[in-house]
A = this chain, B = another copy of it.
Amino acid sequence: MSLARPEERGTAAMLTRPRLHELDRQDPLAAVRERFALPEGVLYLDGNSLGPASKAMSGRIGEVVAVEWGGDLIRAWNRRGWFRLPERVGARIAPLLGLASDEVVAADSVSLNLFKLLSALLRRAADRRVVLAERSNFPTDLYIAEGLVGMLRDLASGEGPELRLVGAEEFLGSLGPDVAVATLTQVDFRTGRKRDLRRVTRAARDHGVPVVWDLSHSAGAFALDLRADGVEFAVGCGYKYLNGGPGAPGFLAVVRERQEELRPGLAGWMGHAEPFRFETGYRPGAGMRRFVTGTPPVLSMAALEEGLRVFESLDLGALRRKGEALGDLFIRLVDQRLSGFGVSVASPRRAAARGSQVSLRHGDGFAVMQALIARGVIGDFREPDLLRFGFAPLTVRYVDLWDAVEALRDVLASGEFREERHRRRAAVT
């Protein structure tokens, strides 16, 4: 891509705002940004926490409320296909994951979907009893595993299963014949470090261990190819890069060959083979249907469906290239413009090892981020010292990188963040 121009190959080549502006002019995804309703005066680098609303969103949700619910009432479940929303939305997510449309459903939350897969895989595992996870995983994944294992230990009359938490570097060495299931997040929410799905999944399979991947910071940020990578089980988030709206339902993916083997511990009527037979006993629905539990939240589901429309016929290669370029350029700008301000790069410098985010460290990280947000540059802060900047390729411009780094430079140079720090202390005491 155009970044490869001769004058920019050396790390010494200085980036300029006009040069970044030129990259925006050449950006094949620039038109997609026009489909989003971004507020004036805001430079939004937090799409990895909550994606923005598309311009079509208000109209679509208005239609669901006034026409589908308001006008059709109960008849909308059939007329508007609400019953098939889990599959309909799943089918829109599937190509982003590199899976077939009948291998993904949208349902509940990431947390609950992880519970379904961990419990089902633990059941399938016969005498293996360890749930393996990385200590640095996103905490809700750990809490779900801890909650499941804790409940089973309390209620098992003999020995229950065990949750084994290990450091990232110990993970592969911890795979063994006692491990029933492992869970990992591909992109670390703190540093943006990205794991190699294929390598880790294969290594685990060599030990007979299925891995449930959390793709919350992956799906929609770059193209995935789970089928080629041998990934069989995954969950993920609807409200980050998929732009499904606050608290949008999560997704759950299982390759076709494994679907019928699994019995999730959460069995609700919407996952029954024939819910309107109102049978006394549970019969799991075919394929992915069994992973749906209660009645889906239709408004939030419809918003996720609408958010996913933006990905229709999108060049997923361009998505990955832009995401990598944004991160690379941001790091170069940090190197060029912020040296001497006490900022360091916490994310991998190699694009292939990084998700669509870059985290910086600064001892006054919280106060610095507050000062940035006060200037309309919205990233977020994670304990203890991380400034997180998300580069959703559909909505972030190259020139935004320049403006964000300049704002950060101003905040650091002026020392205005120290006022934020004092304000915070005053508020606490």
- Tell me the chain A residues, 42-97 only, with Cβ under 8 Å from chain B: 42, 44, 46, 49-50, 52-53, 57-58, 61-62, 65-66, 68-77, 82
**By the criterion CB–CB under 8 Å, are A151 and B119 in contact?**
yes
**By the criterion CB–CB under 8 Å, are B112 and A294 in contact?**
yes
Residues in B neighbouring A135, C-beta threshold 8 A: 280
**By the criterion CB–CB under 8 Å, are B75 and A142 in contact?**
no
- Cα distance A82–B50 in the bound complex, in angstroms: 13
- Cα distance A161–B359 in the bound complex, in angstroms: 48
**By the criterion CB–CB under 8 Å, are B109 and A294 in contact?**
yes
- Closest beta carbon of chain B to A106's beta carbon, Å: 11
- Closest beta carbon of chain B to A68's beta carbon, Å: 8
* New contact pairs (12) apart from A158-B158, A299-B299, CB-CB < 8 Å: A46-B74, A108-B112, A108-B294, A111-B269, A111-B293, A112-B266, A119-B151, A122-B155, A140-B270, A144-B267, A146-B281, A297-B300
Contacts known (A50-B74, A299-B299, A301-B247); A123 close to B151, Cβ less than 8 A: yes
Tallying the copies of this chain within the complex gives 2
Q: Is A378 an interface residue (CB 8 A)?
A: yes
Q: Which stretch (A21-29, A271-279, A338-346) binds chain B?
A: A271-279
**By the criterion CB–CB under 8 Å, are B272 and A148 in contact?**
no
- Cα distance A119–B149 in the bound complex, in angstroms: 12
**By the criterion CB–CB under 8 Å, are A50 and B62 in contact?**
no
Contacts known (A139-B280, A301-B247); A71 close to B147, Cβ less than 8 A: no
